Chain A
Amino acid sequence: MADTVLSVRGLSVRFETESGAVEAVKGIDLDVDAGETVAIVGESGSGKSQTMMAVMGLLARNGRADGSVRYRGEEILGLPARALNRYRGRKITMIFQEPMTSLDPLYRIGEQIAEPLMRHAGLSRTAARRRAVELLDLVHIPDPERRLAAYPHELSGGQRQRVMIAMALANDPDILIADEPTTALDVTVQARILELLSELKARLGMAIVFITHDLGIVRRFADRTYVMKSGEVVESGATGTLFERPRHDYTRMLIEAEPTGRKSPPPPDSPTVLTAEDVRVVFTQHEGLFGRRRHDLRAVDGVDLTVRRGETVGVVGESGSGKSTLGRALLRLMPAAGLVRYEDRALMPLDRAAMRPLRRHMQLVFQDPFGSLSPRLTAGEIVTEGLLVHEPGLTRAERDRRAASAFEEVWLDPATRHRFPHEFSGGQRQRIAIARAMILKPALVVLDEPTSALDRSVQKSIVELLRHLQEKHGLAYIFISHDLAVVRALSDEIMVMKSGKVVERGSVEAIFDKPREAYTRELIAAAFLDGRGVHMEAAAGPGL
């Protein structure tokens, strides 16, 4: 083994909260050797981020770290900020999940890269500028000279993450800690960022600590892996061995958490629930001083779609491809043009009031289970809100009984219906959101990325729940997602969207086995599907 650059012994992190002390990390050991990639995997709440926050001395004010963290033999845990800064930002650097908020929106990219160079490394303005150009070139930002003058909002998410990486590399660090660096990015962008990281690692010889919940990434990039569960390392070892022969149940569960199985196709004679022809959504932006210049953005551009009873149509695409907008346009939650029919009624000519009675047949489940539940209502009140509108004659007791049975239907304890949303975990909240849609016994449910904000193991149970509900009630789903693994497990037919247009559509087998478009192939390659029933070469990349 090469020399150890970072060695963590018996690290524990405690947070003083209102409801007593919470031990986020419970005495873990961890080593990082020079030039290797170490992954820390775990679900949310496992303490994987807090471990590295403690190493960097970035814990929240109510947090306390104990134990030992040595950088090349020197103790750095508990150093005062001034002493810690000799390592932090120079030898050990960190990039975060959210590239939108990690850059200061008020300063140009060039200033943000050059400023620490001038302060820490004592470079002159011109030297710092030259180095900034070099760094941007290193992270493959095209035309770096000109990009120096750009503000963060002028860059895409992937470019912003590249800038963050460039800043982290500025002082030739030994260790780069990457905390879910690609979670907020589109799958294809994610793949390119990961390629960049492994290329940089090979060129600069630094160690990378990769914090992630995504096992696909771990498998491709990490030399060694630590699996964390509720503050403890339950298993560690070389990535290959760990994946082939997981010893701990939790590791096995994580590996198997990828949604598997397929849904059975609907009967061939099942009736059509919703048809859409040539749906268009155009956002008009007014520019100029008095808004006289008009600029049309075609978010959805002539999409046709048919869903039958018991059928799932998967809509995939990157952010900005118009897939969510399409879902809302179909439910008339957004002004749109074209033709949409529910059973035999045309929806487009209906106004808000005329739509209202139809709403119970067409429901929507959102991506973010934190944002889609009103924080001041109890879970039971949230679930039964639709009944207030569509069955106003129900008494309070009847509504409560219906709420309890709706909770049972989504595999939640009915006794918890008097709690408030913030007292549930992410997966439970998403079930509440599903219960809210299901209580009205709809014919069609638009699922807008219902699993994207959840951990893999939770995703799996949500996917199973959705499949179960579909079978039981013969629901039609329009399933919007960028996650091809989930889409594959749920859909009969898939539409691939790009810039508002459908670029490819077909059955699941056709799309995954014989993708025609380059864009589709790129999406599939980027999703790191582990090859169960799919081409293996798509997952092979430079990191292996």
Chain B
Amino acid sequence: MTDGTLATDAAAAKPAPAGRSLFALAMRRLLRNRAAVAGSIVLALITLFCVAGPWLSPHPYDRVYRSYVAMPPSLELYPKESALAGAMGEALERARLAMANFSVDGDSFRVTLRSDRPIDPRNTRYIERLDEFADPRVVETLDDGRTLVVAGRVNRQLFLMGTDRSGRDLMTRIMVGGRISLLVGLLATFVSLVIGVAYGAIAGFAGGRIDNLMMRFVDVLYSLPFVFFVILLVVYFGRDFVLIFVAIGAVEWLDMARIVRGQTLALKRREFVQAAEALGVGTGGILRRHVVPNLLGPVVVFVTLMVPKIILLESFLSFLGLGVQAPLTSWGVLISEGAANIQSAPYLIIFPSIFFVATLFALNFIGDGLRDALDPRDR
């Protein structure tokens, strides 16, 4: 009577060798959802950026450039031409040498050093130590060594998103932080998915007293304050990356278990489960073949909404200083550092936030799209 019936009748009439599963149909619907497709593309790009980026980036994420502390983002190469002479002058001052005749020609420089006494050629180290210059070598020795001509390269660096308060490249740090955040998001979600689905499905399917016991246990865990729980773990086991997964996963599976249990209770009353029981299929078989596959829809949706939640949680932990350890970083840490310098260096919070927000939006759009695509009312 509805168009749905008409469509299925038409589909049934056509000779098709293999059926299109509900999942395949859902995927087709998902692909037609523009927001979800855009979300997927954005997420894929961000993931690629974070995973491949650090290998391509010229800066290691923990390299400190003393010369470029808290540099604002720029498309120009550092050092700026105007700053070169000053930097050289400062370096030579530290070496107690006088500078005469500093010239830059393209990527190479030439500087003439003077002193009252003969100059030790090892003094070029003062120049080398600077981030601006590289490979200084003595090309000429004049006045019995009281005048040296030193030549070398100007080390030109790009800091697209600027550097942080310690002089580390922000873009590379965002990439590495993204790796951590996405990894925590995915792994902790996976942990909670496995525990939650198994626990919830068993509780819901067993029903009665077992269900009651299992869910009261969940309630007890729920009542533990999360931060207190994490601090406890950190105190006992020390700060550890793996601990974050464990802590977050151990808390988040509770939600998953509740959702899965509710769905299982509803599924249990469906006739196909009763039919399986009438066939003599055991509990394991019913759970594996009938309950869990039919849970997929709500679970997939919940997972996409859980990943951003966990990324936020990790950020919160890192913000409190319970998360990853420096120099390793995560988006949460970067944002927390940025927040501390929001007046002097606003770009420190803007750039990590852009990636963070884009990821959250993308995941939420994908989650919404999946929810619509898998909606059983559409069947």
Contact = CB atoms under 8 A, between A and B. Distances in A.
Interface of B: 1-3, 5-12, 15-23, 28-29, 32, 270-272, 274-282, 285, 289-290, 293-294, 296, 379
Given A15-B3, A371-B270, A373-B272, 6 more contacts: A49-B2, A63-B3, A389-B279, A389-B280, A420-B21, A424-B12
A377 B273 CA distance: 12
Contacts of A22: 3, 6-7, 10
A412 to B, nearest CB: 11
A419 B19 contact: yes
Given A372-B272, A376-B21, A17 B12 contact: no
Interface of A: 15, 17-19, 22, 24, 44-46, 48-50, 60, 62-63, 328, 331, 333, 355-360, 362-364, 366, 368, 371-379, 385-386, 388-390, 415-416, 418-420, 422-425, 428, 433, 436, 440
Contacts of A357: 280
Contacts of B32: 18
A152 B278 CA distance: 35
B3 A62 contact: yes
Contacts of B21: 376, 378, 420
A333 B23 contact: no
Contacts of B10: 19, 22
A375 B22 contact: yes
B19 A418 contact: yes
Contact of A374 (B2, B17, B289): B289
A433 B280 contact: no
A363 B280 CA distance: 10
A436 B272 CA distance: 11
B17 A415 contact: yes
B286 to A, nearest CB: 10
Contacts of B276: 374, 385
Nearest to B29: A18
A17 B294 contact: no
B275 A366 contact: yes
B280 A355 contact: yes
A19 B293 CA distance: 26
A475 to B, nearest CB: 15
A3 to B, nearest CB: 31
Contacts of A60: 2-3
A45 B97 CA distance: 96
Contacts of B11: 19, 423
Contacts of B290: 374
B19 A420 contact: yes
Nearest to A428: B12
B272 A389 contact: no
Contact of B280 (A19, A62, A359, A374): A359
A233 B371 CA distance: 39
Given A17-B7, A18-B28, A364 B15 contact: no
A415 B5 contact: no
A385 B278 contact: no
Contact of A385 (B1, B3, B12, B281): B281
Contacts of A371: 270-272
A61 B10 CA distance: 21
Contacts of B274: 328, 333, 364, 366, 372
Contacts of B282: 356, 389
Given A45-B6, A331-B278, A371-B271, A377 B289 contact: yes
Closest 9 CB pairs of A and B: A419-B19, A359-B280, A15-B3, A372-B271, A386-B279, A371-B271, A364-B278, A376-B293, A374-B272
Contact of B379 (A44, A62, A63, A375): A375
Contacts of A62: 3
15 contacts: A18-B28, A22-B10, A45-B9, A60-B2, A357-B280, A359-B279, A376-B296, A386-B281, A389-B279, A389-B282, A389-B285, A419-B19, A420-B20, A424-B12, A440-B279
B1 A50 contact: yes
Contacts of B8: 422-425
A48 B16 CA distance: 29
Q: In this complex, which of B19, B21, B294 has the most chain A Cβ atoms within 10 angstroms of its Cβ?
A: B19
B241 to A, nearest CB: 37
B295 to A, nearest CB: 10
- For B3, B19, B29, which residue has the most chain A Cβ atoms within 10 angstroms? B3
Contacts of A63: 3
Contacts of A15: 3, 6
Contact of A436 (B5, B12, B279, B294): B279
Given A17-B3, A60-B3, A372-B272, A418 B9 contact: no
Nearest to A46: B1
B22 A420 contact: yes
Contact of A423 (B1, B3, B12, B293): B12
B20 A423 contact: yes
Contacts of A48: 1
Nearest to A385: B279
B19 to A, nearest CB: 3
Contacts of A424: 8, 12
Given A372-B275, A419-B18, A425 B12 contact: yes
A369 to B, nearest CB: 9
Contact of A49 (B1, B15, B23): B1
B6 to A, nearest CB: 5
Query: Which of A17, A388, A419 has the largest number of chain B CB atoms within 10 A?
Result: A419
B16 A419 contact: yes
Nearest to B272: A374
A45 B5 CA distance: 6
B18 A385 contact: no
Contacts of A368: 271
Nearest to B278: A364
A364 B280 CA distance: 11
Contacts of A50: 1-3
Contacts of A328: 274
B10 to A, nearest CB: 7
Contacts of A377: 289, 293
B270 to A, nearest CB: 6
A45 B1 contact: yes
In this complex, which of B7, B28, B293 has the most chain A Cβ atoms within 10 angstroms of its Cβ?
Answer: B7
A420 B18 CA distance: 9
A46 B285 CA distance: 40
A375 B28 contact: no
A279 B315 CA distance: 62
Q: Which has the most chain B C-beta neighbours within 10 Å: A60, A377, A415, A423?
A: A423
B321 to A, nearest CB: 46
Contacts of B294: 374-376
Given A22-B7, A45-B6, A388-B285, A422 B379 contact: yes
Contacts of A17: 3, 7
Contact of A386 (B9, B270, B272, B280): B280
A418 B23 contact: no
Considering residues B6, B279, B290, which has the most beta carbons from chain A within 10 angstroms of its beta carbon?
A: B279
Given A366-B275, A371-B270, A419-B19, A388 B28 contact: no
Contact of A390 (B19, B29, B280): B280
Contact of B6 (A18, A24, A374): A24
Contacts of B3: 15, 17, 22, 24, 50, 60, 62-63
Contacts of A24: 3, 6
A437 B1 CA distance: 29
Contacts of B9: 45, 425
Nearest to A417: B19
Nearest to A60: B3
Nearest to B277: A333
A19 B12 contact: no
Contacts of B379: 375, 422
